[in-house]
Every structure is written in structure tokens, then in C-alpha cells.
């Protein structure tokens, strides 16, 4: 286990090095758990790990965008719940067809992201405070709208298929990768493209490295910031659809604390909380590390209280490694 | 370089923690319990009962539950990991029966018996459900009420609702016991307060106004019982026997202070113990009844600190 593919990291650029470190950690975990228990490396279990990653992975993608701008979004978890409830209202209370529910959830997410972004960019409320407020507002609204009870999707029989069905499994029997996982990876590719190939992506990094410089060069910095928060909100809408589909219900009390899991995945993946630096690939690896770790510890029957301790240790170790690397580079 | 060292250290720590469990896993039956919670005192008591049964019968038990009862998806992840371990049987208390159905079917197809516990699972997959016999528990409350009011007089019930299983069972258990055993006791009113303290307080005030000669009131769950207690205190009524259900700091304090005569407590330790016991029986292919009573007990000022009672009470 000591001979790991991190042999030549110094030849690579800084960002790539952290990604390789994170990737190496993921491989170490996979090898370790596979050796420790014969039950770990089974198709069903690997699929369960991927399924468990899908929601947190999508939320972490949203969080990555905001964190690269040097901001933070504490509302991703309850926004996810809010959009799930909106889907429930459209599909179950109003009885509309599935596409309406999907569009409504994503639009509601983008709308809330737009509000958060406006509070931050136009009213200059610090991101931590603005999204903390949104987190509580959305948690409350989810309970109010749903009447504090779960909304079930029994009238829309195809809705659970969105996350738990498997198009791949239909084509390749024996490989029933849930659709939710496919959606996560497609979304990761799309947002990765946005970040590296579009104007929005460039301003995302620029705002995080030096917001003042962006402003002084005559760019509408506030407008771009609002757009980024709105995009992140829309992505939370996708997470809301995935979790509602998986549970065949919108659970209104859920969501608090999920923002911290998302931020942890982002940070493990090497995105800097100071902004200006980060990648979607890193975030996906970070999210996978978290769910592989949790699943593996469960497979090894490690007591639940110790699972939490080990997860905390891994987060600190990952961030410390990132700091060391940056100190050496700087 | 340092990352790997740190990571390896963490992994070694993890593996050390795991070794004891793994060594045992080889020849013992493995039974994971997936509960509705973990940190709450009630669930820790269920875990203690499960651990006790594990030691007694020589099986390996793990106990997991999400941080809050809202985290349905995290409970699903726990159940999926438990199934991946190819357990002999599984104990499960569903947060949302519908959401759990696909995984329970998976267990059924793999021939893994499922034992439902606490509020159970709304499905025909579980081999049995380990829960409190609420009918018998409420009948015991009726017996105590009769004893305390001298076998005659007017009593009333404040129940949490008329639709849930526990609401129906506790009401009927109390009412039927009074009807069959205490002809001189008259049940003058049964009201429903949604288990909400404030609502139950208002209901009780109305009952006290309508029946000034009332002898006793039974509150059928924690919230209802606190509501009854508040109303009696606020109106300054004396001489009314109040009987509650479950525990919680307010009820315990009221019982110590003599404001409440006593209450029925369920037995979370018994729930954990009986779940593991039933799982072993299911693995052996024994026939199990549809429900298994995990036990309950009456407690009042005299025995509230007795070890067997104190162990099942929570704040």
C-alpha cells in the first residue's frame, strides 16, 4: 500500500498535485477496505456507495462554484429540501406531469440562489450571514408549505426512476448504475466545462482571486456574482429532485447539516476556502472519499461514534496537506 | 508525503477499532440494528438492550441510526451498508416505511429476515415487530387509577390522537379495562390534543370546568400528560389523580413532587433485547408471533430511583 502513484507530484502544477493527492487517498481507502473485508468490493456495495454520493456530490458541485468566488453557501442543504417540496407541490398537490415538477424544482432553486446572490452582491451582506439566513428561511418554508408532513410521489409512478432507475442497466444487464449517479457525473462534466471554458467560469475564478481588480477593469462584478449563486441554486434543485426521487417523498425536515457535508467534500477535493482556486474533479473525488470512508467503516463494523471521529480526522488531514503544499509552492 | 502518513495513521486507527469486530464476525451470527436515532437517551437504551442480548446469546450486533429522525436518506445508506455485510438477520425501525421498501425487498430476496422494532415497518416483509403492548400498558394505568381513586368516581382521558396505532391502543386499553373491571368508575370524557402540551392544557381546563367532581385524568403520551399537569396547576385544582405515559424531565419532576401520581414507562432496553432475540429465532427458522411485547412498567415516587426503573427513564 506504500507504493502509490504520487511518485512524481512535484513535476505537476499545484492544482493537479492536490487532485492527485486526493485521488491517491481515494485509492488507498479503496484498497484498504477491499483487503479488510470481502464484502466491500462487491458490485452491489459499490453501487450503494455511488448512490450515497449522488446527492452530496451534486450539492458539493454547487458549493464549489460559490467557494471559488471566495464566498460560502450555507443554504445548499435546506435549499435542496425546499426544491424537493416544490416538486412535491407541483406533482402531488397539483397533479401536473413530471417535466413540470423538474422545471419547477430547478427554477425554484435558481430563484433562491438569485436572492442569495443579490443579498450578497447588491446589498453587501456577508455571504456567511446572507446564506445562514436563507438556510433558516428555506427550512421554515419547507415545513410551512408541506404542512410538516412528507409529500409522497405515489401519483407519479415514474418519479422514483429519476434517481433509482437505471438506463445503463437496461442496456448493459448486470451493471445497474442508478440514474442518479449518471446525472451526477454528467452534471460534473457540464459544470467543469462551464468553469474552464466559459466567461462565467473565468469570472468565477477572477472574483475569488481579486474581486477589486475585476471591478476596476470595468466588469459588472455584482451581476456575475448573482449569476453564479443562481447557477449554484439551480444545481441544488437537481439535488432536491434526486433525493426526493430516491425517497419517493419530499421530507420537509431534512437538509440541515447537509451543507457541511458538501463543504467538506469541496475542501477535501482541494478547493480553497479563500477562493480563486478549485476544480469540480477534485470535489467529486472529495465526495467519493467521504462516502467510501463512511461505507467502509460501516462494513468493518466500526462503532458509529468512531466513524464520526475518523471522518473529522480525514477532513483536517486533507486540508493540512493542502496548506503544506501551498506553503511550499509559495 | 505527509498526507499519506497522516492518512495511514488514521486508517491504522480505524483498522484497530475494527479488528475486534472482525475477529468475532467469523463464526458468530451477525445482526445489525438500524434504528431511528442514535444519540438520544431512548435509543442508547435500546442499544444497551441489544448489546446485552448479543453478549448473552453470543452473536455480533452493531447499532446505527441517523443524527435526526428527518435524515431518511442517511438511514437508507446505513441499511444498504448493513445488507452488503451479508448479515444473518436485520433489525430495523423505519423512519419512512415507503422509502425503505426497495431495500427491504432486497433483503427479502437475499433471504435475510427483517425484525421490525419500536414503531416498526409498515410492510408485510418483517418476520415480527418488537414493540410495547400499548393495550396492556394502558390497562395497567387503568388499574392504578382505580386503586388511587378508591375504585369509584369520574375519570377522563387526554389522548394524543385517534388515528395513530399508539393513540388507539392506549385509549382502548384504558377504557376497556375500566369497563370490564371497575363498574363504579365512569369515563366522562375522551379528548384529543395532538400530543401538544398547550392544546392538551386547554382541553383539560375545559374538562375540569365541565366536571368539577372529577377524580382522575390519564394523559396518554408525554405531551398529553404534561398538558394535563399544566391545567391542574394553572386552575389550582386539588385532589385530581394525574397519570402519565413515558418519561421526560417534566414528568419525572412532577412525580417526585407528588403533582403526578405516576406514569407508565415503555422499556427501550427490552426493545433492543427482544429484537436481537427474535432475530436469532428467525435465523433458526422458528415461527414468530406477529408482534412481541418488549415490556412496560408502572413508576411513581416510590420506585422512580430503583435501578430497573431509572434505567428505562429518560430526560
| Grid cell digits, residue B137 | 400498558
Q: Give the phi and the psi of residue A175 in degrees, each rounded to 5.
A: -130, 65
Ranges of beta strands (E only) in chain A are 151-152, 249-250
C-alpha to C-alpha distances, B225 to A152, B37, B129, B199, B234, nearest whole angstrom: 32, 24, 27, 11, 14
pLDDT for the residue numbered A19: 66
User: Contact B121/B97 with Cβ under 8 angstroms?
Assistant: yes
Cα-flanking dihedrals φ and ψ of residue A151, to 5°? -105, 120
Q: In what helix (H) or strand (E) does residue B64 lie, and over which residues does it extend?
A: strand B60-64
Grid cell locating A184: 451526477
Give alpha helix (H) positions in chain A. 14-36, 43-68, 76-88, 98-121, 127-146, 161-164, 167-171, 179-197, 199-216, 221-247, 258-268, 280-299, 304-329
CATH of domain A49-316: 1.10.3470
B11 touches chain A (CB under 8 A): yes
The grid cell for B148 is 388511587
pLDDT in tens, A250-271: 999 899 899 999 999 999 988 8
What does the alpha-carbon distance between residue B212 and residue B193 come to, in Å, rounded to a whole number?
20
Kindly list the structural domains of chain B, giving each domain's residue range(s) and its CATH number in brackets, ordered by start. 15-132+268-295 (3.40.50.2300), 134-266 (3.40.50.2300)
Cα–Cα dist A146/B203, whole Å: 27
Interchain proximity B77–A294, CB inside 8 Å: yes
Q: Is residue B136 within 8 Å of residue B195, measured between CB atoms?
A: no
Which residue ranges make up each domain of chain A? 49-316
The nearest CA of chain A is from the CA of B70 a distance in Å of: 5
- Distance between alpha carbon B223 and the CA centroid of its chain, in Å? 15
Cross-strand bridge partners of residue B155: B187, B216
DSSP 8-state secondary structure symbol assigned to residue A251: -
Q: Does B110 touch chain A (CB under 8 A)?
A: no
Buried b / exposed e along B93-106 (16+ C-beta atoms within 10 A): bbbbbbbbbebbee
Maximal CA-CA distance, chain A = 60
Shortest distance, CA A310 to any CA of chain B (angstroms):
7
Q: Which residues contact A306 (CB under 8 A, 6 or more apart)?
A: A297, B14, B17
Which residues on adjacent β-strands are paired with residue B91?
A: B33, B115
Q: What pLDDT shows up at residue A122?
A: 95
B123 forms beta bridges with none
Distance (Å, whole) CA B198 – CA B204: 10
B83 has a chain A CB within 8 A of its CB: yes
- All residues of chain A having their beta carbon less than 8 Å from the beta carbon of residue B60 are 301
* pLDDT, tens digit only, all 315 positions of chain B: 445 555 555 555 545 444 444 444 457 899 999 998 888 777 888 999 999 999 999 999 999 999 887 889 999 999 999 999 999 999 999 888 888 988 999 999 999 999 999 877 888 899 999 999 999 999 999 999 999 999 999 999 999 887 777 888 999 999 999 999 999 999 999 999 888 888 899 999 999 999 999 999 999 998 899 999 999 999 999 899 999 998 888 999 999 999 999 999 999 889 999 999 999 999 999 999 999 999 999 999 999 999 888 878 877
- As beta bridge partners, residue B293 has B131
d(CA B151, CA A268) in angstroms, rounded, equals 68
Among the partner-chain residues B18, B72, B78, the one whose CB lies closest to the CB of A247 is: B72
Q: Which residue of A has its CA nearest to B8?
A: A28
Task: Give dist(CA A258, CA A244) in Å, integer.
Answer: 15
- Distance, in Å, from the CA atom of A26 to the CA atom of A44, rounded to the nearest integer, reads 19
Q: Are A270 and A18 in contact (CB under 8 A)?
A: yes
What nine digits make up the cell of A239? 439535488
Cα separation, A105 vs A236, in Å, equals 9
Residues of A in contact with B71 (CB under 8 A): 254
* The C-alpha cell that represents B29 in the structure block: 451470527
Max alpha carbon distance in chain B (Å)? Answer: 82
pLDDT for the residue A112: 98
Of the CA atoms within 13 Å of residue B151, those in its CB half-sphere come to 4
pLDDT of residue A17: 65
| A299 neighbourhood in chain B, CB within 8 Å | 81, 84-85
Please, where are the H alpha helices in A248-279? 258-268
User: How many C-beta neighbours within 10 Å does residue A307 have?
Assistant: 19
Q: Which among B6, B15, B82 is the nearest to A36, CB-wise? A: B15
Torsion sign, CA atoms A71, A77, A80, A82: negative
Residue of B8, B15, B18, B33 best to disrupt the A interface, most CBs of A under 10 A: B18
Please choose, from the candidates B129, B125, B130, the residue with its C-alpha nearest in 3D space to the C-alpha of residue B111: B125
User: What does the alpha-carbon distance between residue B97 and residue A289 come to, in Å, rounded to a whole number?
Assistant: 29
How far apart, in Å, are the Cα atoms of A113 and each of A124, A134, A146, A242? 15, 9, 21, 18
Residue B264 parent element (H or E): strand B262-266
Residue pointed to by grid coordinates 415514474: A158
Closest of B168, B276, B310, B156 to residue B218, by C-alpha: B156
Q: Quick one: which H or E segment has residue A55?
A: helix A43-68
pTM of the model: 0.79
Distance from C-alpha of A176 to C-alpha of A173, rounded to nearest angstrom: 7
C-alpha cell at A75: 443554504
| Cα distance between residue A116 and residue A233, in whole Å | 9
Distances (CA, A) of A246 to A251, B170, B314: 11, 35, 34
Q: What's the pLDDT score for residue B76?
A: 94
Place of cell 422499556: B267
Contact between B64 and B34 (Cβ < 8 Å): yes
Burial of A294 (0-12, 13-18, 19+ CB in 10 A): buried
pLDDT at B300: 95
> Chain B partners of A295 at a C-beta cutoff of 8 Å?
77, 81, 84
* B22 in A contact zone (CB under 8 Å): yes
Select from A63, A251, A235 the least CA-distant residue to A142. Answer: A251
- B146 Cβ under 8 Å from any chain A Cβ: no
Could you say which residues of chain A have pLDDT below 70?
1-19, 329-330
Strands B296-300 and B262-266: antiparallel
Q: Does B8 touch chain A (CB under 8 A)?
A: yes
Amino acid at each position: 500500500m506504500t507504493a502509490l502513484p504520487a511518485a512524481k507530484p512535484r513535476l505537476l502544477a499545484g492544482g493537479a498535485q492536490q487532485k492527485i493527492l486526493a485521488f491517491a487517498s481515494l485509492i488507498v481507502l479503496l484498497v484498504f477496505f477491499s483487503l479488510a473485508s470481502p464484502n466491500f468490493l462487491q458490485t452491489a456495495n459499490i453501487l450503494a456507495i455511488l448512490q450515497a454520493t449522488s446527492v452530496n456530490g451534486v450539492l458539493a458541485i454547487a458549493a464549489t462554484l460559490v467557494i471559488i468566488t471566495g464566498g460560502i453557501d450555507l443554504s445548499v442543504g435546506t435549499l435542496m429540501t425546499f426544491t424537493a417540496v416544490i416538486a412535491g407541490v407541483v406533482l402531488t398537490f397539483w397533479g401536473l406531469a413530471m417535466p413540470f415538477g423538474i422545471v419547477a424544482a430547478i427554477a425554484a432553486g435558481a430563484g433562491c440562489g438569485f436572492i442569495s446572490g443579490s443579498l450578497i452582491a447588491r446589498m453587501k451582506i456577508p455571504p456567511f450571514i446572507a446564506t445562514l439566513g436563507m438556510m433558516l428561511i428555506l427550512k421554515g418554508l419547507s415545513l410551512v408549505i408541506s404542512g410538516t408532513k412528507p409529500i409522497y410521489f405515489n401519483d407519479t409512478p415514474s418519479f422514483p426512476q429519476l434517481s433509482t432507475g437505471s438506463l445503463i442497466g437496461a442496456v448493459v444487464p448486470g451493471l445497474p448504475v442508478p440514474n442518479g449517479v449518471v446525472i451526477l457525473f454528467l452534471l460534473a462534466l457540464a459544470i467543469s466545462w462551464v468553469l474552464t471554458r466559459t466567461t462565467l467560469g473565468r469570472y468565477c475564478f477572477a472574483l475569488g482571486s481579486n474581486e477589486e481588480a475585476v471591478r476596476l477593469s470595468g466588469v459588472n462584478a455584482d451581476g456575475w456574482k448573482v449569476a453564479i449563486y443562481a447557477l449554484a441554486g439551480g444545481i441544488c434543485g437537481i439535488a432536491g429532485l434526486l433525493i426526493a426521487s430516491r425517497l419517493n417523498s419530499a421530507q420537509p425536515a431534512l437538509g440541515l447539516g447537509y451543507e457541511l457535508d458538501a463543504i467538506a467534500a469541496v475542501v477535501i477535493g482541494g478547493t480553497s476556502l479563500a477562493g480563486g482556486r478549485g476544480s469540480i474533479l477534485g470535489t467529486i473525488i472529495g465526495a467519493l472519499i467521504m462516502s467510501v470512508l463512511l461505507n467502509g467503516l460501516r462494513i468493518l463494523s466500526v462503532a458509529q461514534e468512531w466513524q464520526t471521529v475518523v471522518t473529522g480526522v480525514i477532513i483536517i488531514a486533507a486540508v493540512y496537506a493542502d496548506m503544506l503544499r501551498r506553503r511550499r509552492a509559495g | 508525503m505527509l498526507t499519506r502518513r497522516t492518512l495511514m495513521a488514521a486508517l491504522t486507527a480505524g483498522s484497530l477499532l475494527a479488528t475486534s469486530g472482525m475477529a468475532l464476525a467469523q463464526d458468530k451470527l451477525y445482526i445489525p440494528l438500524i434504528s431511528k436515532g442514535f444519540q438520544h437517551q431512548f435509543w442508547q437504551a435500546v442499544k444497551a438492550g441489544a448489546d446485552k442480548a448479543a453478549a448473552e446469546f453470543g452473536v455480533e450486533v452493531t447499532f446505527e441510526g441517523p443524527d435526526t429522525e428527518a435524515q431518511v436518506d442517511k438511514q437508507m445508506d446505513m441499511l444498504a451498508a448493513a445488507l452488503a455485510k451479508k448479515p444473518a438477520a436485520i433489525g430495523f425501525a423505519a423512519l419512512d416505511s415507503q422509502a425503505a421498501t426497495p431495500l427491504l425487498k432486497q433483503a427479502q430476496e437475499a433471504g435475510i429476515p427483517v425484525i421490525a422494532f419500536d414503531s416498526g415497518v409498515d410492510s408485510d416483509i418483517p418476520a415480527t415487530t418488537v414493540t410495547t403492548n400499548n393495550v396492556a400498558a394502558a390497562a395497567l394505568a387503568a388499574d392504578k387509577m382505580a386503586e388511587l381513586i378508591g375504585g369509584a368516581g369520574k375519570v377522563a382521558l387526554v389522548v394524543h390522537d385517534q388515528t395513530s396505532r399508539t393513540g388507539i391502543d392506549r385509549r382502548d386499553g384504558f377504557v376497556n379495562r375500566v369497563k370490564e373491571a371497575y363498574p363504579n368508575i365512569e369515563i366522562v370524557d375522551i379528548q384529543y390534543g395532538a400530543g401538544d402540551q398547550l392544546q392538551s392544557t386547554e382541553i383539560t381546563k375545559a374538562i375540569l370546568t365541565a366536571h368539577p367532581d372529577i377524580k382522575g385524568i390519564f394523559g396518554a403520551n408525554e405531551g398529553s400528560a404534561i398538558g394535563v399537569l399544566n391545567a391542574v396547576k394553572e386552575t389550582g385544582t386539588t385532589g385530581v389523580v394525574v397519570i402519565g405515559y413515558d418519561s421526560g424531565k417534566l414528568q419525572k419532576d412532577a412525580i417526585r413532587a407528588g403533582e403526578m401520581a405516576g406514569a407508565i414507562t415503555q422499556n427501550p432496553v427490552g426493545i433492543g433485547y427482544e429484537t436481537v432475540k427474535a432475530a436469532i429465532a428467525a435465523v433458526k427458522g422458528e415461527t414468530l408471533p406477529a408482534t412481541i411485547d418488549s415490556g412496560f412498567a408502572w413508576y411513581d415516587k416510590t420506585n422512580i430511583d430503583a435501578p430497573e426503573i431509572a434505567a428505562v427513564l429518560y430526560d
